[in-house]
Structure 1
Amino acid sequence: MYRKGRMPPGPTPLPIVGNVLQLKGKRWDEEFSKISEKYGPVFTFYFGTEPVVVLHGYEAIKEALVDHGNDFSARAKIPLVDKVRQGKGMAFSNGKTWKQMQRFSLSTLRNFGMGKKSIEERIQEEAQYLLEQLHDTKGQPFDPHYLMTYATSNVISSILFGKRYGYDDKRFQALIALSEDNVKIFTSIWGQLFNAFPALMEWVPGPHQQVIPNNAKCREFVLEEAKEHRATLDPSSPRDFIDCFFIRMDQEKHEEASEFTMENMVSCCVDLFGGGTESTSSTLKYGLLILQKYPEIEEKVQEEIDRVVGRSRMPSMADRGQMPYTDAVIHEIQRSLSIASVSIPHAMVKDTLFRGYVIPKGTKVFPVLISVLHDDKEFPNPKEFDPGHFLNEDGTFRKSDYFMPFSAGRRNCTGQGLARMELFLFFTSILQNFKLKPITDPKDIDVTLLVKPTSRFPRPYKFCVIPR
């Protein structure tokens, strides 16, 4: 049965399939943009027999996720995710589980220096390893995918597991490969079909059937690390996230309904590892590609690095305030990439009156983030790469409320502070030490993105780095 009542208007659904045929082979954000022109910034779209409320544009998304943040703060049930998470962990949980895991994860990240000196030192240390690997390419063409992925993975690994892994560590490589494979499946048409028709897709062979075994191997990795941690735990001197979790587990061991269980520990680690790797490494890869396309932008960034940092020390977060052009370039890379074109679905905590409509409790909500990041009033020529989008006329950095690559409100990205530090420190360290050398003429470089239904990724490419 289709729910009518006072839900927002939208295209008429077909029996059983709803509106999904409108998305066949298309980018969801582009299709949603067309629908919003007819029905407005808040409309209903049916995935099968399930109504989803779509939010399009800055005003609607801010009003929902920020001004009515509590009402829109639940995480929607996503069948393919539920198969592996079963309501555990942080990213896809709800209620008491989410509140406690979110609060614990944020405070632990902060205690281990998110936004403080100690994490900055971890990133700087990893940047040194990355620079050594780049030197070892000896000016020959290479694919940056693995180096950028291993570097960003090691930062989150140092917080979760208390150590970094060698770039040739087979267990580490296998964990990353499993995590990447699941991201591909979740963002593929197979993943979307499973989420729309779970009962049917359970019986259909395809890549979506690989999610469970992949997740089991990721859990096995975390459990091995946890076993080692448990044997050497010193409650007076926690080394990392796992130690902190064990300490809290011990404190609450007599509480029957404690959320601090092994299941939640493992799920939080898998959530944070995946979230702390994919988007940051993809942004780095895309940024290095864009700078090859526009060597004049690369030169201006390097001039600013030379002027503010010099060559005798590593860049630090304290430099960022004196580097408005570099900061603007990094923001523009994130805006231009818009890696999550459509946010991970939210859900209504309760029946909510919103803009004259009644959205029932549990209804899925899709915020179309790219509609904010590519708003042509805030960012003239949004499809063009232009650091001027984040610069005032006098060359100072220009903040924008429309900058939402990490979403907004209570369900925004837990690790966004860490991601911002990584992007600044990795980019500036690379450009301080190397000139980027494309293997084709800059004007022939293809910066178009690989577009999935709700995500965008840089294409594979090779290039060279030349020591400065």
Structure 2
Amino acid sequence: MLSFFELLLLLLSCLFTLKYLKVIWVTRRLPPGPIPFPVIGNLWTLSFKLHPETLKKLAESYGSIYTVWLGETPLVVLNGYKAVKDGIVSHSEVLSGRPVASFLRDLLRGRGIVMANGHMWKQQRRFGLMTLRNLGLGKSVLESQIQEEARCMADLFTAKKGEPFDPSLILDHAVTNVISAVVYGHRFSIDDVTFKELINCNHCIVENIGSTWARMYDAFPWLMKHIPGPHQAAFRHMNYLNQYTKKEIEIHKQTRLSEEPQDVIDYYLAQIEKSKNEVDSTFNEENLMSVITDLFGAGSETTSTSLLWALLYMVAYPDIQHKVHKELDIVFDGSKLYYEDRKHLPYTNAVIHEILRYGNIAAVGIPRTCIKDFKVRNYSLQKDTMVLANLDSVLYDPQYWKTPNQFNPQNFLDSDGNFLMNEAFMPFSAGSRVCLGEQLARTELFIFFGTLMRSFSFHLPEGVTEVNTKYVYKMTLQPHPYKICAVPR
């Protein structure tokens, strides 16, 4: 007769076998992919990370649309411009959902804009777009704030007197102050302890989202949320951001003038009052905190990382830096840079776009889910199936770029030197989940980069002869820490 432990072991073995057979059965209706292992699926094959290079290699074996398994959850991956367009662009509304069980969803509590779904997401996103416009996005009001931060940034670079320094903190400071003015209504001093802690929280969260622990959490959320590990630090840092935002909200309640909203918090508090009697309203203080942390996190980390890549590439490719200097010198005589000026600076504009393409910080983006059954290519995907657009494979698609694997501004220039947009340019993703802050990021990048290039020549510190342009994989693709010299022109 079997003992209790033998019986338990037999039951568990049967359970695992049945669950694995279920996975194998489900694979029959999904796009092809590597055979999943019991329990962990293809996590071992993926090295427990959604690394863009790994995803591209799998596409070589299984095609532009294939399936990998995060534990017992299938993830359909789209590779290359055509597959991504067929998915998130042609079926934009259908692929507008977010996974309901994932590390990022739990971290952001499924509220706000980034990880919300359905009516809540639509209402919060619409508010975000409207409020950014009200606060001057695309107008001189917000542009003047960016110009002022660019001036302060240039002053901090000048203070280094041509000596080697790490530009990351100064770039973080400039970019963070823009989004801080938008959401909180004020800026920070570069020595402010709170500012440094907010930046540290953002960096930690980004690092955790791209980690092995996060992929384990995606596969086994019921387990990982209860066990210790580095992933728990992300929740502590997110709590700090939420607590800071909560304090800002309380201050705004006491000091705001309802007829003259100054920032996102003011506008949102007014919206809560306006819609308090609407049955389907999702405007409340919990969503307010989530919207603010979404905007603050996304609006600081990504743009500052792009600027880090920009300066690194200028040092790595001095001939390109020289051409940017030459164009700026010909067109401008000391006046302020405006986003509209990009039309008169085709080469500089092409360089900025190439930085976004080649630097490619978003890498694979955030998974989406089908809100209903639909067909992509010849594959029928059921409601709630997770789909991931490998943006890296779009930005490096050899069918759409002159030199996909080289940093080359000619990817955005025609034979006459005029700026030429490429349809495969998707660093901000695409479709209904396209980055909410794309316009703000584009404006900041142009003004910050243009200001620095007009003011300085960048080169390596004395004795340093090689530039490391390889990336560090986190949630975003980031350059290795480096130092440069900024010599006033």
TM-score (norm 1): 0.96
Cα pair 1:76 1:365 within 8 Å, conserved: no
| Among 440, 457, 460, the residue aligned to 2:478 | 457
Equivalent position SS for 2:415 = coil
Rounded Cα–Cα distance in structure 1 between residues aligned with 2:291 and 2:31: 35
Q: How far is 1:127 from its partner?
A: 0.6
| 1:2-21 to 2 correspondences below 5 Å | 2=23, 3-4=26-27, 6-21=29-44
Rounded Cα–Cα distance in structure 1 between residues aligned with 2:293 and 2:106: 14
| Among 81, 96, 119, the residue aligned to 2:142 | 119
1:277-300 deviation digits (Å, cap 9, x = unpaired):
111101101110110111111111
| Among 396, 404, 427, the residue aligned to 2:426 | 404
Rounded Cα–Cα distance in structure 2 between residues aligned with 1:60 and 1:418: 28
Cα pair 2:206 2:476 within 8 Å, conserved: no
Rounded Cα–Cα distance in structure 1 between residues aligned with 2:107 and 2:240: 12
Rounded Cα–Cα distance in structure 1 between residues aligned with 2:222 and 2:340: 53
Equivalent position SS for 1:381 = coil
Runs (5+) with no aligned partner, structure 2: 1-21
Q: How far is 1:439 from its partner?
A: 1.0
What code does the residue aligned with 1:457 have?
Q
| 1:66-465 to 2 correspondences below 5 Å | 66-310=89-333, 312-439=334-461, 444-452=466-474, 455-465=476-486
Rounded Cα–Cα distance in structure 2 between residues aligned with 1:199 and 1:439: 50
What code does the residue aligned with 2:482 have?
Y
What code does the residue aligned with 1:407 have?
S
Rounded Cα–Cα distance in structure 2 between residues aligned with 1:31 and 1:195: 18
Rounded Cα–Cα distance in structure 2 between residues aligned with 1:455 and 1:223: 27
Rounded Cα–Cα distance in structure 2 between residues aligned with 1:89 and 1:27: 24
Q: How far is 1:356 from its partner?
A: 2.2
Bigger radius of gyration, 1 or 2? 2
Equivalent position SS for 2:68 = strand
Q: How far is 1:393 from its partner?
A: 0.6
Task: Judge which range, 107-116 or 27-36, deviates more.
Answer: 27-36
Q: CA 1:240/1:26 → structure 2, altered by over 3 Å: closer, same or farther?
A: closer
Rounded Cα–Cα distance in structure 2 between residues aligned with 1:91 and 1:440: 44
1:116-168 deviation digits (Å, cap 9, x = unpaired):
21111110011111111111112111101111111101111111111111111
Rounded Cα–Cα distance in structure 1 between residues aligned with 2:75 and 2:148: 45
Cα pair 1:294 1:442 within 8 Å, conserved: no
Q: How far is 1:395 from its partner?
A: 0.2
1:239-283 deviation digits (Å, cap 9, x = unpaired):
111100011101112234421100000000000001001111011
Equivalent position SS for 2:44 = helix
What code does the residue aligned with 1:428 have?
G
Q: How far is 1:39 from its partner?
A: 2.2
Q: How far is 1:38 from its partner?
A: 2.7
Equivalent position SS for 1:236 = coil
Q: CA 1:26/1:381 → structure 2, altered by over 3 Å: closer, same or farther?
A: farther
Equivalent position SS for 1:191 = helix
Runs (5+) with no aligned partner, structure 1: none
Equivalent position SS for 1:394 = coil
Q: CA 1:298/1:78 → structure 2, altered by over 3 Å: closer, same or farther?
A: farther
Cα pair 1:293 1:443 within 8 Å, conserved: no
Cα pair 1:187 1:455 within 8 Å, conserved: yes
Rounded Cα–Cα distance in structure 2 between residues aligned with 1:84 and 1:442: 41
Q: How far is 1:25 from its partner?
A: 6.8
Rounded Cα–Cα distance in structure 2 between residues aligned with 1:178 and 1:100: 27
Cα pair 1:293 1:442 within 8 Å, conserved: no
Q: How far is 1:223 from its partner?
A: 1.1
1:307-350 deviation digits (Å, cap 9, x = unpaired):
1122x222111211010000000011111111121110010010
Rounded Cα–Cα distance in structure 2 between residues aligned with 1:288 and 1:37: 33
Cα pair 1:348 1:365 within 8 Å, conserved: yes
Rounded Cα–Cα distance in structure 1 between residues aligned with 2:247 and 2:146: 25
Rounded Cα–Cα distance in structure 2 between residues aligned with 1:139 and 1:371: 38
Equivalent position SS for 1:54 = strand
What code does the residue aligned with 2:203 have?
E
Cα pair 2:49 2:211 within 8 Å, conserved: no
Rounded Cα–Cα distance in structure 1 between residues aligned with 2:57 and 2:297: 32
Task: Judge which range, 21-30 or 152-161, deviates more.
Answer: 21-30
Rounded Cα–Cα distance in structure 2 between residues aligned with 1:216 and 1:208: 13
Q: How many residues align?
A: 466
Rounded Cα–Cα distance in structure 2 between residues aligned with 1:442 and 1:392: 35
Q: How far is 1:466 from its partner?
A: 1.0
Percent of matched pairs sharing the same residue: 39
Cα pair 1:223 1:266 within 8 Å, conserved: yes
Q: CA 1:443/1:394 → structure 2, altered by over 3 Å: closer, same or farther?
A: farther
TM-score (norm 2): 0.92
Q: CA 1:53/1:440 → structure 2, altered by over 3 Å: closer, same or farther?
A: farther
